[in-house]
Structure formats: C-alpha cells, structure tokens
Amino acid sequence: MDLNNLMKQAQEMQKKMSVIQADLAKKVITGSAGGGMVEVTVNGQGDILGIKIEDALINIDEKEMLQDLITAATNDGVRRAKELSKQEMGQLTGGMGLPDMANFLS
C-alpha cells in the first residue's frame, strides 16, 4: 500500500469530519418528557441550547416531578443528538471497516 496515498486519504477524511462536525453543531434536536410539557433543545453535538417548561408545571409542590421531567427530556435530546452524530459519521466511514468514529466526539 502506498503511504502517500494513505496519508492523502487520511487528510481528506479529516476535512470531511470537520465539515460533518460543523454541520452537526448547526442541527437542532428536541427531546421531550411529560407529553411535551418539558422540552430540551440540543444541537447535533449534544450541547444544550434551551429548555421550555409549560407554565402548569411551575409549582413549588411539584418541584421534584419537574426536575425528573427536565432530566428525562435532557437525556432524550442528548440521545437523539448522539444518534444523529452516529448516522452522520457513519456516512464518512461507511464501508471502510473503521471503528465507530462517533465515539470520538463524545
């Protein structure tokens, strides 16, 4: 195998990976809990962009439930972002027999 060709392929893959990461940062995913009463918005890299809470949930007596719903919605959003990242990175490495590159992003 030609070492120069291998290096060239690695550089091309690195450029493509940078583009994919930049695209993922622009994508918006929403996780929800409580039938949509709590929504957490994340980008494709898993960064939390915002939290929306229905007014009906803002009650000091329901604080524990609200905390649980925020946690559930956040986990849902982050899980969806990881799935998106895995899909996008899979397009880059598809058919090359390489390990899952999405794991390197987390």
Where does the chain show beta strands of DSSP type E?
28-33, 38-43, 48-53
- Quick check: 81 pLDDT over 80? yes
Tokens representing 69? Answer: 């719903």
Confidence of residue 33 (pLDDT cuts 50, 70, 90): very high
Bridge partners, residue 33, by sequence: 38
Predicted TM-score of the model (pTM): 0.64
* Residues in Cβ contact with 58 at an 8 Å cutoff, skipping those fewer than 6 apart: 66
* Number of CB atoms found within 10 A of residue 85's CB: 22
Tokens representing 100? Answer: 């899952």
- Fold of the domain built from segment(s) 22-94: Ybab; Chain: A; (3.30.1310)
Are residues 16 and 92 in contact, defined by beta-carbon separation less than 8 angstroms? Answer: yes
Confidence of residue 106 (pLDDT cuts 50, 70, 90): very low
- Quick check: 16 pLDDT over 80? yes
Measure the CA–CA gap between 67 and 17, rounded to whole angstroms. 36
Q: Where are the domains of the chain?
A: 22-94
